[in-house]
Structure 1
Amino acid sequence: MSEIKAFAEQLKKKIEDAEVVGIISHKSPDGDNLGSLEAMWGCLNGMGKKVIYVSNDDVPADFAFLPSTKERVDISTIKEPLRLLIALDSSDAHRFGSKGEALFEKAAYTVNIDHHMSNDAYADLNCVLPKATSTGEVLFQVFEAMDIELTPAMATGLYTAISTDTGSFQYDSVTGDTHRMIAALYDAGCDHNIVVRSVYQSMSKGKLALHARVLSDLKFMADGKVSLAICRLEDMERTGAPKDATEGIVEKARNIDGVEMAIFLKEKAEEVKLSFRSKSYLDCTEFASVFGGGGHIRAAGASQGDSLENVLAKVEALVREKIENRDR
């Protein structure tokens, strides 16, 4: 029996035995996270279960079109431990935030569905496929093994997950199987038009102003092989952009001719968020791991509870060590 089939059988039994099922997102939810949760929410509803969709952070405006995002329940209102709690697209329990992690630890039985290579199998039941493009791709296979029929809304959720986490199918992890899954999602009635309009064609004026401000001050290192973008708190304040408006900046910095890797630093009140994106030969996880993070070869991230100045100095030293000194 395949790994997916064995997992699917156990998961289906756990869901069938439960009256109430919780699903939880990670902090700073993205398209793969929210799209996968949309599909799981639809699956559980279709199986006649009461679903508690745990909300532990705001939903970016780009993904508000997903119907399940309107069903999210603030984590502070959940007083009793959940009998079954399913996490999607979270490499570790810390990504739920302190309240989310505590809720996860108190749950009677937990499930973890993910694709990050740094995932440490933190749940009672785990399905982690590091070679998959996205959690959406993993979940597609799980549903297939469970003999779950996709509704148009579920298909749209999975399309959102796979499309966004592959950079619109640009990354090396994309295979023929990925496109065959997408074909199946079209056949199931996914609304790719709403995904395109909402995610790729609806940039707010505040977000545009922020991107213009940050990208106008790009720095380059390693003979132009590395671009460095920095978003300071004052940039957010002056443009009036929402906190999720930085999405896409690092990809724009990577897409410059001659740049192999883009590094993006986002200053927050108590930490600095780091994002790494590469094109062909630099491994982003090698850089992110220095800061306690992880992800994928072409896309990785981390966070540091330090000042922007200190993190910037560490990043510049790392680029000199791993790229500039190596190329000499």
Structure 2
Amino acid sequence: MSANESPAGQAQTPTTATPDAVRESAFLKACRREPVPHTPVWFMRQAGRSLPEYRKVREGIPMLESCTRPELVTEITLQPVRRHGVDAAIYYSDIVVPLKAIGIDLDIKPGVGPVVEHPIRTRADLAQLRDLTPEDVSYVSEAIGLLTRELGSTPLIGFAGAPFTLASYLVEGGPSRTYENAKAMMYGDPELWADLLDRLAEITAAFLKVQIEAGASAVQLFDSWAGALAPVDYRRSVLPASTKVFEAVAGYGVPRIHFGVGTGELLGLMGEAGADVVGVDWRVPLDEAARRVGPGKAFQGNLDPTVLFASKEAVEAKTREVLDSAAGLEGHVFNLGHGVMPTTDPDALTRLVEYVHAQTAR
């Protein structure tokens, strides 16, 4: 089923995508801080466990295996576009896919997350991190080729994990609440830490380049765990690697989005990294985020994902607060302040898209 079919399977009039149609989409115009017909909407983790159709096609297939099947990736990426009418699709993958592709022994364990068999703790361990080539992730190029044909004028967002977040998994060996091993390396062996992040910046940039060259219209860098850092540590030990990633893809001219969780104190620094759009979680109002970052940026966010479990009236009231806070921004992409929670009612997401579109129609 293509993106031009309804959720019930009723075929609609097909559209032929042209580069201009995608470029003039509300999402890309908002990222470029240009006037839009309505505030564009998409959701982090919009393709995922909140959708029954996702659970059906993923049944019995491990996460990382699903990321290597182009036709399955295409179907999963299209599902929320069909169901919700969002203004952008985000490529279905995982931030550890490029690490797995270069031979890192890791797996995503249900209920735990990415687990690395041999954590990186010494300089000798850095040898695990070879260059990523397009051939390592040929399934990504194939899937994006399929997607850009199916999506019509809907833009596709590619993404990758930021060097700090990838380093946290690699050094800790899995998810962590305290990041004691990663921070111990950062504080105790800053040269090794810098070399690790520099290698990860190269791998991340290569992964984003593959997606852009295959047809992604924008890219997002997820620095999920950067909120664990003090600003002085972020500036010294993390910002250079994130900046390197954004600089590496700047020449493609596609919008670059930067997002982290719990990063209110880091927003100004994240703005310095080079993204065109700064993602904001639900803890900081968008007008305050803009004050911290300064002019020349668009913003993405930032409804608390848990609001979607409240009544329709409560969701609309909280959404109105976000839209009011965004009224003075140079560009705004509506999103949640973090990913869609797995038990979210899909109909609540569809209603949210419709509400934002109706409330912001120019």
- Alignment TM-score > 0.5, same fold: no
TM-score w.r.t. the length of structure 2 is: 0.25
TM-score w.r.t. the length of structure 1 is: 0.27
Q: Which structure's residues are more often strand, by fraction?
A: 1
